[in-house]
Amino acid sequence: MKRKAFALIFTTSIVLTACGGGGESSTEQGASAADGEQLFKQNCASCHGVDLKGGAGPNLTRVGEEYDAAEIEQIIKNGKGGMPQGILEGEDAKKVAEWLSEKK
């Protein structure tokens, strides 16, 4: 029973973390293009790991070898596999995609 309760709490916390805060976006705060890594840490690292080595989501350490920035941006916006759509939108999605496309 304890194992099931822990699994439920753990899963719920991951889902809530992945959904983001809903507050003011970094674009509204005047963020620059160099914020891709910070946006990733805030919105994506709970599934993909701070070190990009994966967890609930796939390993992204070499994602730039498979996809270019535009393709990564579309995956971020539309989701893929178990990844939900809309975690990041607009300029924030573009910044993270550009940052990830450099991972080769």
Instruction: Report the domain count for the chain.
Output: 1
This prediction has a pTM of 0.69
Q: Is residue 6 part of a domain?
A: yes
Burial state string for 42-55 with b = 16 or more CB within 10 A and e = fewer than 16? bbbbbbbbeebeee
CB-based burial label for 4 (10 Å; 0-12, 13-18, 19+): exposed
Cα Rg of the chain (Å, integer): 14
Residue 48 lies in a domain: yes
71: containing domain: 2-19+33-101
The CATH number of residue 97's host domain is 1.10.760.10
**Domain membership flag for residue 84:** yes
Residue-wise pLDDT tens for the chain (104 aa)? 556 544 445 554 554 455 444 444 444 444 544 699 999 999 999 999 999 999 999 999 999 999 999 999 999 999 999 999 999 999 999 999 999 999 99
Read off the amino acid at residue 89.
Answer: E
| Inside any domain, residue 51 | yes
**24 located within any domain:** no
In a domain, 25, yes or no: no
